[in-house]
Structure 1
Amino acid sequence: MNRKLTAALLIAAAVLTNVAFTVLGTVFDYPDVLKKPTDEILTAFRAGQGPIAGWFTVLALSAALFAPIAVGVGRLSRSAAMRAAVPVGIAAAVVQVAGLSRWPLLVPGFAADAADTDPSVASAGREHFETAHQVLGTLIGETLGYALTAAWTILVIVALGRTLAGRWFTVLGGVSAALIAAGVVSPLHVPGVDFANFIGYVLWSGWLLAFAVVLLRSPADRPVLAGSPR
């Protein structure tokens, strides 16, 4: 996990996430579709199941990249904050993959059952989807995902300080982390939270790309930081 590989993974994660998110917004009205009634969600899913499941797989892959990214970034500092950041980043990857993987792995079966002519099978399909939607989606993938992603970002900023890239790196990362963390209260339907969370991820994508550029431009033999200088 050298700096060039870490930078490449940062770029890949940012690009794949944004491409998959944009395409899903077009073919599935994602993420707005998640707030619609169950029958509408499943009907929309069945209408474009192949592409939708495929792009959710890409989105899950982009989330999985944060496990090796956390390890690679962890090599940039020996501080306590960075030692904490590594497992937090890996956990962020795990919970988001768990949440997103339900779409290609579980939802096709739920959608098929929900369209069954047997009322009991159809009802069970809808109930199973709602359970997975709440547990794997809202609780694990989204709420924990937002919290852990924001925490990882803040820990990395604290560990690296301004030494790696300067004040702008700290400000951009901190603002994006705060906006992402706001998504934790999204289930409470607080006005403006979903938009703030969306803007947070847009800024965070920019921060990831900028992080990659900084790593690519820094000397390969530059020593890791022993602490967290400011």
Structure 2
Amino acid sequence: MTQTVQLPAVPSPDRAAAVFLILHIVAMFGAFMMLGPAFDFPEVLRYPSADRFALFAANQSVIRPTYWVLTMTGVTQILISVLLFHVAGSRRGAFATLALTFGTLAGLCQALGFGRWVILIPYLVEQAGLGQAGAGLLEGAFNHYSGMLVGEHLANIFWGIWLASMNVTLLRTTDISRGFCWFGLVMSPVLILLAGEQIGISGDILDPLVDFGFPLLAVWHLLLAVQLLQRRGGAHFQPLGRGWTVASAALAAGMAAPALL
């Protein structure tokens, strides 16, 4: 008589995905808030290299660890992409694979773009202080390549494709709120449009997208985390109540308020 061996149940990725979604958004927006007063971010990225060097040297005790946190958000983006791929379950298909691929690429590009401030820029600032004339040229080249091309242009395109693919996957494989998924789908072109600055799209168009689009993107991440925590590894998602809708709208308004003042 053959004895059936029962394997232990695989833990649901819901809770882990929710935790990383929250950590990702808190780390990203908290770091950007730190960089504003300490480094005149994001305007500083358009300054001459010498001005960036001076600001970095004066405040690197804050700037360097803050960019280390932002570099780690590239890693959390990859973890989120992998965990949400498994949240989709056995019914996942081509869109889930697209989400996994482009979410991983977005995280890698973000880490490469932000990471230059942790290791490379301190070295170039030191060399500039020693009178090395080529330090500014190298910093400008890396600012355009590692920063603008990899960290902003490609990362935002990949991020937008990930967001669109992820929401289509959730629509096709789960019973999560339809309105929530359509909200994410509407947001995905905003990320792709943000890649346009590096190819000449005016800041007059992009500034409102950043000021109001990113708070809405943060709300999407947090609402997905809430629904995953409420699901607790079950088969069905709980509908979002009116309280969460009102709270998320208030949060988005609060995050966008500085742009209006």
Do the structures match in fold with TM over 0.5? yes
Give the residue type in structure 1 aligned to 2:93: S
- 2: CA distance between counterparts of 1:46 and 1:108? 8
1:172 aligns with 2:204: no
Which of 192, 211, 224 in structure 1 is aligned with 2:205?
192
Deviation at 1:52, TM superposition (A): 0.2
Deviations 1:134-165 (A, max 9, x none): 11000001001100111000001111118443
Equivalenced residues, count: 220
Do 1:172 and 1:204's aligned partners in 2 also have CA atoms closer than 8 Å?
Answer: no
Do 1:186 and 1:194's aligned partners in 2 also have CA atoms closer than 8 Å?
Answer: no
> Secondary structure of the equivalent of 1:65?
helix
Do 1:180 and 1:198's aligned partners in 2 also have CA atoms closer than 8 Å?
Answer: no
- 2: CA distance between counterparts of 1:99 and 1:198? 21
Match of 1:83 in 2: 97
Q: Which has the higher contact order (CA 8 A, sep 6+)?
A: 1
- 2: CA distance between counterparts of 1:179 and 1:197? 9
Which of 97, 107, 111 in structure 2 is aligned with 1:93?
107
Deviation at 1:92, TM superposition (A): 0.7
1:109 aligns with 2:120: no
- 1: CA distance between counterparts of 2:111 and 2:129? 27
- Give 4+ residue runs of structure 1 displaced > 6 Å after superposition: none
The CA RMSD over aligned residues, in Å, is: 1.8
- 1: CA distance between counterparts of 2:100 and 2:51? 39
- 2: CA distance between counterparts of 1:164 and 1:44? 49
- 2: CA distance between counterparts of 1:212 and 1:8? 7
- Compare 128-137 and 33-42 and name the one that shifted more: 33-42
Which of 209, 221, 226 in structure 2 is aligned with 1:208?
221
Match of 1:3 in 2: 14
Give the residue type in structure 2 aligned to 1:51: V
Deviations 1:10-69 (A, max 9, x none): 000011111111011121111111111221111111111121011000111122101111
Do 1:177 and 1:200's aligned partners in 2 also have CA atoms closer than 8 Å?
Answer: no
Give the alignment's TM-score, normalised by structure 2.
0.80
Match of 2:69 in 1: 58
1:24 aligns with 2:35: yes
Do 1:60 and 1:100's aligned partners in 2 also have CA atoms closer than 8 Å?
Answer: yes
Match of 1:48 in 2: 59
Select the structure of larger CA radius of gyration.
2
5+ residue gaps, structure 1, are 225-230
Which of 166, 170, 178 in structure 2 is aligned with 1:156?
166
1:68 aligns with 2:79: yes
- 2: CA distance between counterparts of 1:89 and 1:135? 21
Match of 1:227 in 2: none
Deviation at 1:75, TM superposition (A): 1.2
Give the residue type in structure 1 aligned to 2:215: V
- 2: CA distance between counterparts of 1:24 and 1:85? 30
